[in-house]
């Protein structure tokens, strides 16, 4: 009998404790959820487009689109109605703009980026880059040598594959070089533009895309890498490094960068291109590396390049690499940019003073021409 009473007492005590705990929970003040951060280390930002010294759009993975109007001190997230990755964005003015991305994604805004409408691109290929010289005329490039153009603001698109046509007698050998990916386009007006991509492709047009000319041939004599045992001399210009980004200041002056960390430059509209030398830091001696020669350690791939102002330029790459154009035409590692051990996908300047760098979990802003940079926390 005593054992039963003891057991009953223990059970009663447990019920009392549970009741007290439950009552205590009901008396607790509910804590509001932590605010969602607009910028996290897991974000992958691919492009940025400033529309004023302090206003800019930033796009990235999983359909993420951010807008800042105060130089990156605060950001507003814009719901574009998709989780597809956004690879590129361009605003042609304060109200009109376009973006592109995965699964043939092309969208347009007519209200300053508040709302975005998906356009019928008639493709499911990835679209990696775009260039709109004005609100109605635009060019988009992507997978499998895709080039799309519009003259009516995206109401309709003309599609083509921008690639070399090989003679029938070597077409079987040319299979590895067919349909190269095109990554970037730069148009300075509705007629003059350039496209770069995989396998060293450089294409140019002077008539709004009605016809295109290859321009990478001038790089072949400079590229000293010997042919490998499985390389075919008939396709030597397809063994040039892949180019990820191209930027033209005007119809004459342009630059591109890519996979093996090289920058190429032209001052005659691409009739001739030259590999640019690099330096460890501004004012340091230029390297003597021969283009195509094996370098140990290898250079970081360069993902973006931007020519801005009258004579400025900057390029960003894999492990936080940032190069700055020097007065002598060389490119030097820029110590002014904070050391970031992450890929830096894009650099863009609104003018010679105000600029942005975005990448994986990173947004940087300068308002003094790149002398100092500020981390944007979101």
Q: How far apart are CA 315 and CA 171, in angstroms?
A: 37
**Confidence (pTM):** 0.90
CB contact at 8 A, 131 and 187: yes
Residue entry with tokens 């356009």: 119
> For the domain bounded by 42-375, which CATH number is listed?
2.130.10.10
DSSP string, 311-338: TEEEEEETTS-EEEE-TTS-EEE-TTSP
Q: Token match 């990755």: residue?
A: 85
Q: Along the 378 residues of the chain, how does pLDDT read in single tens digits?
A: 444 444 444 444 444 444 444 444 445 556 565 457 889 989 999 999 999 999 999 999 999 999 999 999 999 999 999 999 999 999 999 999 999 999 999 999 999 999 999 999 999 999 999 999 999 999 999 999 999 999 999 999 999 999 999 999 999 999 999 999 999 999 999 999 999 999 999 999 999 999 999 999 999 999 999 999 989 999 999 999 999 999 999 999 999 999 999 999 999 999 999 999 999 999 899 999 999 998 888 999 999 999 999 999 999 999 999 999 999 899 999 999 999 999 999 999 999 999 999 999 999 999 999 999 999 987
User: Whole-angstrom Cα distance, residue 89 to residue 75?
Assistant: 17
Say if residues 181 and 128 touch (Cβ distance below 8 Å). yes
Q: Which two tokens stand for residue 90?
A: 């361009």
Comparing CA positions, the residue from 311, 375, 304 lying closest to residue 346 is 304
Nearest partner of 128 among 141, 147, 144, judged by Cα: 141
Q: What contacts 66, CB < 8 A, 6 or more positions away?
A: 38, 39, 57, 58, 59, 75, 76, 77, 78, 378
Enumerate the domain spans of the chain: 42-375
CA distance 163 to 171: 13
């Amino acid at each position: 009998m005593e054992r039963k009473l003891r057991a009953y007492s223990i059970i009663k005590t447990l019920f009392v404790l549970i009741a007290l705990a439950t009552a205590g929970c009901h008396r607790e003040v509910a804590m509001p959820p932590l605010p969602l951060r607009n910028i996290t280390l897991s974000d992958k930002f691919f492009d940025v487009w400033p529309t004023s010294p302090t206003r800019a759009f930033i796009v990235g993975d999983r359909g993420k689109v951010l807008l800042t109007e105060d130089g990156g001190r605060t950001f507003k997230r814009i719901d574009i109605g998709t989780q597809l990755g956004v690879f590129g964005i361009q605003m042609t003015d304060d109200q009109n703009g376009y973006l592109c991305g995965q699964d043939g994604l092309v969208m347009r805004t007519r209200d300053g980026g508040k709302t975005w409408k998906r356009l019928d691109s008639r493709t499911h290929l990835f679209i990696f880059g775009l260039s709109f010289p004005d609100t109605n005329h635009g060019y988009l490039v992507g997978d499998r040598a895709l080039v799309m153009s519009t003259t009516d603001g995206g109401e309709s698109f003309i599609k083509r594959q921008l690639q070399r046509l090989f003679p029938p007698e070597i077409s079987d050998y040319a299979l590895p070089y067919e349909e190269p990916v095109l990554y970037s386009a730069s148009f300075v007006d509705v007629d003059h533009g350039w496209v770069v991509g995989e396998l060293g492709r450089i294409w140019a047009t002077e008539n709004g895309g009605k016809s295109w000319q290859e321009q990478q041939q001038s790089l072949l004599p400079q590229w000293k890498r010997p042919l490998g045992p499985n390389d075919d001399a008939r396709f030597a210009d397809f063994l040039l490094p892949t180019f990820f980004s191209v930027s033209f200041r005007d119809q004459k002056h342009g630059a591109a960068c890519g996979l093996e960390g090289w920058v190429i430059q032209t001052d005659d509209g691409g009739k001739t291109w030259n590999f640019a030398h690099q330096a460890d830091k501004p004012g340091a001696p230029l390297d003597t590396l021969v283009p195509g020669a094996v370098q140990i350690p290898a250079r970081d791939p360069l993902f973006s390049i931007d020519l801005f102002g009258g004579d400025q330029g900057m390029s960003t790459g894999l492990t936080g690499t940032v190069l700055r154009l020097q007065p002598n035409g060389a490119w030097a590692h820029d110590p002014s940019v904070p050391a970031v051990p992450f890929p830096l996908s894009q650099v863009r300047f609104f003018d010679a003073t105000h600029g942005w760098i975005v990448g994986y979990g990173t947004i940087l802003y300068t308002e003094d021409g790149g002398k100092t940079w500020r981390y944007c926390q979101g």
